[in-house]
Chains A and B, each alone.
Chain A
Amino acid sequence: MIDVKNLTKRYGNFTAVRDVNFEVEKGEILGFLGPNAAGKTTTMRILTCFMPASEGTARVAGYDTFKDSLEVRRHVGYLPENAPLYLDMRVRAYLEFVAKIKDIPSRDRTKAVKRVIGLTALDDVHNKIIGHCSKGYRQRVGLAQALIHDPDVLILDEPTNGLDPKQINEVREVIKGLSGDHTIILSSHILPEVSKTCQRVLIINKGRIVAGDTPENLNARLSGSQEVSMQVRGPVKEVMAAIKQVDGVRDVKTKTSQADSLWQYDLDIEPGQDMRPALASTVVNNSWDLVELTTGGMSLEEIFLELTTQEEA
């Protein structure tokens, strides 16, 4: 659905995006993750034909963003970082105006406006002046604006920016509900945001893609070694020895004893395999009590920090 090749964008001497390549399949939700000024917005602006690339090509819904710009714009819904609203208009009038400039034929216009008002739950405010609406409603009007022509591709620049937690959840639900029929790209500098809504994440820093995978794989790939911690009730020394026998365990450390003979064991494990079943059966076979068994993967937040700091060095 989206095919980006060797995309580069320069502003004078400053290169905002350099040699970016990626593809997005139909129905996929892709997240752009990166600090401010990483090149997320620039990439999105190129995909929506707001500006052309300096080098490279981008194809959206089968059309080239430079050569068939009008066709691309017909197939893309775009919510910029600041929702593009005319604050003096009423919600419904604004959506009708957008429907007109998005080339929706007059017979379908009322239906289209009604549909997005329902989809983004704007029934309460459809007759209000946008300037009088709360930030959450404004953002939803922005989302409605991007959806009005039922585009194949949705590009959302920080869709939950500046909303309160309840509103964030609402917007997130709307976005999730759209996946399947729509191909979605959304950007954020907030990690849980991306890992909760996206099927695939591209981490962008200083104009380059530094990593791209599913949130789970990113976790697995980047946590050089995995950690498992367990709480076992039993004799410390014997438990230690038994655990060390299990294949793939590199090291075991014990922590404080919590109560009588309940100890916590922190294990360092070779990456790429799930050791939990083997560990559990070892404990149980020795008829000790297994109280807790958890894996501590690296959170996206840590990956993000790691990646960006590594690049900087």
Chain B
Amino acid sequence: MQGLLAIWGRELWAYFISPIFYAISTVFIFILSYMFADMLGQYTQYFMQAAQYPPMMERININEMIIRPLFNTMSFVAVLILMPMLTMRVFSEEKKSGTIELILTSPVKDWHVVLGKFLAAFTLYASMIALTLIYPLILQLYGDPDWGPIWTGYSGLLLMGGSIITIGLFISSLTENQIVAGVVCFGAALILWMLDFAASTFTGPVGEVIGYLSVLRHYNSFEKGILDTTDCLFFFSFIFFGLFITVRSLESTRWRA
């Protein structure tokens, strides 16, 4: 247990001492702020038009017009672009520098190592996501957004992020080349993402199965404010499976090294 906490702590420290966290969160917040400002502008324009035509007023909904598109953008930017950059170094760097020999010859169980690294990346991701709370808070100051879908949206974002982190960890444990790990992780995340589009081209059971595997589809219900056990279960089993194969992969480094 002490080993797990030590690895979590060191890993987190490594993220914060290096420019990784600052660079990634700056890019993330910059993109999102632009999107937010843009959507806020559209919303006020729409609102002014509606003021002259009362029936339009009823259809105005701040959650639908700003928060949902914002969550869409966040999931896209965070998961597809930033996640590979966060996870690509995790095991690759240790393999390259040889510190993996220290970790694997210390009395720490393999799954403690993997869990410690996962928790560190997840903590970092969660703190990046927490920065975006500024947008709903701004809306709260001037309007009256419904906080229910905001909280479910954040839960969905965290669960989906956790799932992609496990993929990143797994891929990073396969290679000592960070660039390769990053590119492959990006590709894998993109494919999981696109499964939603693929699902609509197939009909019948094939389409259903593909649709079920799409992370985007499961995330969408969180975004709408629906907390469905199916979706929660999907993400939890995804994370569990991802961690499991990472532990296995780490074990196999011992056999193959």
Contacts and interface: CB of A to CB of B under 8 A. Distances in A.
Interface of A: 45, 48-52, 70-71, 73-74, 76, 78, 80-89, 97-98, 100-103, 106, 145
Nearest to A73: B107
Contact of A84 (B9, B101, B257): B101
Contacts of A71: 107
B7 interface: yes
A50 B14 contact: no
A73 B112 CA distance: 15
B107 A100 contact: no
6 contacts: A50-B254, A82-B98, A97-B6, A102-B107, A103-B2, A145-B102
Given A51-B254, A101-B7, A103-B2, A78 B107 contact: no
A78 B101 contact: yes
A162 to B, nearest CB: 14
Nearest to A103: B107
A42 to B, nearest CB: 10
Contact of B3 (A45, A50, A103): A103
A208 B108 CA distance: 32
B106 A87 contact: no
A-side binding surface: helix, strand, loop or mixed?
loop
Contact of A102 (B7, B98, B106, B257): B106
Nearest to A100: B6
Interface in B86-121: 97-109
Given A50-B105, A84-B97, 19 more contacts: A49-B104, A50-B104, A50-B254, A73-B105, A76-B105, A78-B102, A84-B101, A84-B102, A85-B97, A86-B10, A87-B97, A88-B17, A97-B6, A97-B10, A100-B2, A100-B3, A102-B106, A103-B2, A103-B3
A100 B99 contact: no
A88 B14 contact: yes
Nearest to B98: A82
Contact of B98 (A51, A76, A80, A145): A80
B245 interface: no
B103 A86 contact: no
B45 interface: no
Given A73-B107, A88-B14, A50 B101 contact: yes
B178 to A, nearest CB: 15
A49 B103 CA distance: 11
A102 B10 CA distance: 14
B5 A100 contact: yes
A48 B14 contact: no
Interface string B11-42: 00010011000000000000000000000000
B257 A74 contact: no
A131 B98 CA distance: 14
Contacts of A87: 97
A255 B257 CA distance: 57
B53 interface: no
Interface string B220-257: 00000000000000000000000000000000001101
Given A51-B254, A51-B257, A103-B2, A73 B106 contact: yes
Given A51-B254, A88-B17, A101-B6, A80 B108 contact: no
Nearest to B2: A100
B234 to A, nearest CB: 34
Contacts of A80: 98, 101-102
Contacts of A50: 101, 104-105, 254, 257
A84 B3 contact: no
